[in-house]
Structure 1
Amino acid sequence: MTTKRTVQVTCPECHTQGEFTVYKSINTKESPALKEKVRDGSLFQFVCPQCGAKTTVDYPFLYHQPEDCYMINYGNLADGRKALEMLRGKGVALKDWAKEMEKTTRPYVLRAVDDRLAFREKLFIFDAGLDDRLIEIYKFMVLYQYAAAGKAQGGEQAYFYTDSKGHHHIQLVRGKQTLGIAGFVRRVYNEIHQAYDKTLRDIRRSEPVIDKAWVQKFLQEHGQTEATE
């Protein structure tokens, strides 16, 4: 369900206080209007009633998109793991509900992230019907090639995203600097799927935190000894 509460936020510009709605959980089937507001960031933007200044309010929440069978817990990773373990049926109260999730015709995916860019990326990936584990391997390859070309200076990150025309890309960044954007090649994604399909477990039962650390560990355990830093 969608749950929310009203809090007071102080404008950093003029110090006027105003009311702001904070969501503990978001269910897009119950509250479809929130789906786009999550994506464009307006749900997290406080507009000062006095001076009109806009401020991003960061807070933890559980995002549930039942029509596409996925949940993303945004916030502290340890707390996210705990919450998602309960949803998997390790918590007594939710065992029956977890069994229902396993009966869905599509895999029901649960993920935990603690970074706003990573949260946005998960939305792009799952909305495109892709496997985030395969995307992490794909991004690892992009970062590896960037390093092999002698361009890496450390701290590079890659993010999958979908543009306004529906085209998928991989954005390479370092801090706030965009280093380059490459088109997402579905053929390469399919080749990764073929290579690792037997190794990866059912996505419904996979580790809730799928990120750069996960892919480095996964590839090292399955014959890939080099990893980008």
Structure 2
Amino acid sequence: MSKNHNEIIKCPECQTEGDFKVWENINTSDDPELKELIRSGQLFMWKCPKCGNDCIVFYPTYYHQPEDKMLIHYIPDAPLMAINFMKTLTHDPYDESIKLEKGCRKRVVTDMNSFREKLLILDHGYDDKVIELQKLFLLAELQKADPSKKIEQIFLNREKDGTTNFAIKIEGDQWGRAEFSSGNYEHIAKTFKAALADDKEVLINSDWALATIEKQM
């Protein structure tokens, strides 16, 4: 079930207060129109009714897409309690009578870029564990090619023309692009098949990828 409530927030520019709808839980079976609104970022945007200033409002939310057996909990700087709760969750976060689908993947993301990336991965039908491993191998290649360049983050990215690549955030707020290779994706999926079969972890990030590679070495 989807669940929301209104909160009063204050414009950082003119200090005017206004209502903002916070979505605590999003279920796309109940509200399919929210699929696009969360992907576009509109559910986190608020426009000041007085000065028109656009504000991004970050708040924790559960995103449940039952038709694809996916539950994502976006919670900035996720505490261990939230991670452990997701691991043991077997029902809708706000309604225990609604059981999660058999085989439902559960994920925790701690920043908005990672949240958007998980949704993009879901839309493409990829395995986020393979993508994280692919990003780590790409990072190693880029650092070997230019050790002086400090790479802060890598994200799967979709361009306006629909093509897919990796967006690379470099120190100093610079951005670059790298090719997404479907061949590399398939090779990694095959190489790490046994490790990928284990889906008990909910925080799938670079730390998870590094630990997975170390176990296989």
For normalisation by structure 1, the TM-score amounts to: 0.85
Whole-angstrom CA distance in 2 between matches of 1:175 and 1:83: 34
2:135 is matched with which residue?
139
Residue in structure 2 matching 1:127, options 118, 123, 127: 123
Q: What is the count of residue pairs matched by the alignment? A: 213
2:42 is matched with which residue?
42
Consecutive unaligned residues of structure 2, counting only runs of 5 or more, are: none
Whole-angstrom CA distance in 2 between matches of 1:42 and 1:84: 25
CA, structure 1 residues 178+68, in 2 after alignment: closer, same or farther (shift >3 Å)?
farther
Question: Once structures 1 and 2 are overlaid, which stretch shifts more, 71-80 or 21-30?
Answer: 71-80
- 1:61 corresponds to 2:61: yes
Whole-angstrom CA distance in 1 between matches of 2:62 and 2:142: 34
Whole-angstrom CA distance in 2 between matches of 1:215 and 1:190: 16
Give the 3-state SS of the residue equivalent to 2:197 in structure 1. coil
State how 1:182-193 maps to structure 2 within 5 Å.
182-193=178-189
Confirm or deny: 8 A CA contact 1:47 1:54 kept in the other structure.
yes
State how 1:85-104 maps to structure 2 within 5 Å.
85-88=87-90, 97-98=99-100, 101-102=101-102
Consecutive unaligned residues of structure 1, counting only runs of 5 or more, are: 224-229
Q: Which has the higher strand share?
A: 2
Confirm or deny: 8 A CA contact 1:74 1:80 kept in the other structure.
no
* Structure 1 residue runs of 4 or more that deviate by more than 4 Å after TM superposition: 93-96
Question: Once structures 1 and 2 are overlaid, which stretch shifts more, 159-168 or 5-14?
Answer: 159-168
Q: 1:77: Cα distance to partner?
A: 4.3
For normalisation by structure 2, the TM-score amounts to: 0.90
- 1:220 corresponds to 2:214: yes
Q: 1:153: Cα distance to partner?
A: 4.0
Confirm or deny: 8 A CA contact 2:87 2:106 kept in the other structure.
no
Question: Once structures 1 and 2 are overlaid, which stretch shifts more, 116-125 or 29-38?
Answer: 29-38
Q: 1:68: Cα distance to partner?
A: 1.6
Whole-angstrom CA distance in 1 between matches of 2:9 and 2:171: 28
1:164 is matched with which residue?
160
Q: 1:175: Cα distance to partner?
A: 5.1
1:210 is matched with which residue?
204
Residue in structure 2 matching 1:84, options 86, 91, 94: 86
1:149 is matched with which residue?
145
Confirm or deny: 8 A CA contact 1:133 1:210 kept in the other structure.
yes
- 1:17 corresponds to 2:11: no
